[in-house]
């Protein structure tokens, strides 16, 4: 396979992840032009520009194509981004409201992400236990001033959504491993 060709093994119906491209501040307009030009033929659509970051949507079967970009420092993918959690404000002092976070993210997106995980890792595996990740890490990124810590929100999402729901869906346990993880939820 040539370097600029997409990996068609990654085509999973119904999934359109967002890609967040990290770039040097001030180069956003140039990077947007390059991304649109080079990934436009693969269906990349510009969603949002932030300082040092561009957000594009790109079909799953073309998520390996960003390596053709020269202005990009890094890239990360996401199935869902939660901008404002309903009912949780920066004024709230108690973390009980964060129990709503798994409901906001929703099981559909989590199941879609697991579907992609299974597809990407099922090529050579015969053992069903190896088709799923066994360790995970949750990273929470937030903006603005809050009375809560990212690590607290990560713990609630990790225990409430990932670990419990993953076991219900697959019958398998996920364990937290912050350094050597199979799956990162960011």
Which domains are assigned to the chain?
8-78 (3.30.2130.10), 95-185 (3.30.2300)
Residues 6+ apart with CB under 8 A from 115: 12, 15
Provide the pLDDT for residue 186.
59
Structure tokens at 101: 């976070």
d(CA 167, CA 78): 22
Q: Which two tokens stand for residue 61?
A: 């079967």
Supply the pLDDT for residue 12. 37
pTM above 0.75, yes or no: no
Mean pLDDT by 10 residues, the chain (186 residues): 34 52 85 84 78 74 63 64 49 50 57 60 56 66 63 67 67 71 63
Residue 30 DSSP SS3: helix
CA 8 – CA 162 distance, rounded (Å): 28
Q: Which pLDDT belongs to residue 146? A: 62
> Would you state the structure tokens that stand for residue 170, as one six-digit string?
């697959």
- Tokens 């957000």 correspond to 55
Query: To which H or E segment does residue 46 belong?
Result: strand 45-50
SS (H, E, C) 111-141: HHHHHHHHHHHCCCCCCHHHHCCCEEEECCC
pLDDT of residue 20: 73
Look at residue 170 in the predicted model and tell me its pLDDT: 65
Q: Is 32 left (phi over 0), alpha (psi -120 to 50) or beta?
A: alpha
HSE-CB at 98 with a 13 A cutoff on CA atoms is 23
| Per-residue pLDDT at 143 | 61
Rg (CA), the chain: 18
pLDDT of res. 10: 34
pLDDT of residue 106: 55
């Amino acid at each position: 396979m040539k370097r600029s060709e997409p990996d068609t093994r990654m085509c999973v119906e119904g999934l359109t992840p967002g890609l967040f491209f990290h770039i040097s501040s001030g180069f956003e307009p140039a990077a947007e032009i390059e991304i649109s030009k080079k990934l436009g033929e693969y269906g990349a659509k510009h969603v949002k520009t932030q300082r040092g970051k561009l957000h594009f949507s790109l079909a799953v079967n073309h998520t390996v194509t960003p390596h053709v970009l020269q202005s990009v420092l890094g890239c990360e993918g996401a199935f869902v981004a939660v901008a404002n959690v309903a009912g949780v404000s920066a004024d709230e002092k108690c973390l009980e409201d964060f129990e709503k976070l798994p409901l906001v993210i929703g099981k559909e997106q989590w199941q879609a992400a697991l579907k992609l995980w299974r597809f990407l890792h099922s090529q050579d595996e015969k053992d069903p236990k190896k088709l799923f990740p066994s360790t995970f890490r949750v990273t929470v990124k937030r903006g603005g001033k809050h009375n809560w810590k990212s690590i607290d929100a990560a713990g609630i999402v990790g225990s409430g959504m990932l670990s419990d729901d993953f076991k219900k869906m697959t019958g398998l346990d996920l364990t937290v491993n912050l350094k050597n993880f199979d799956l990162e939820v960011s």
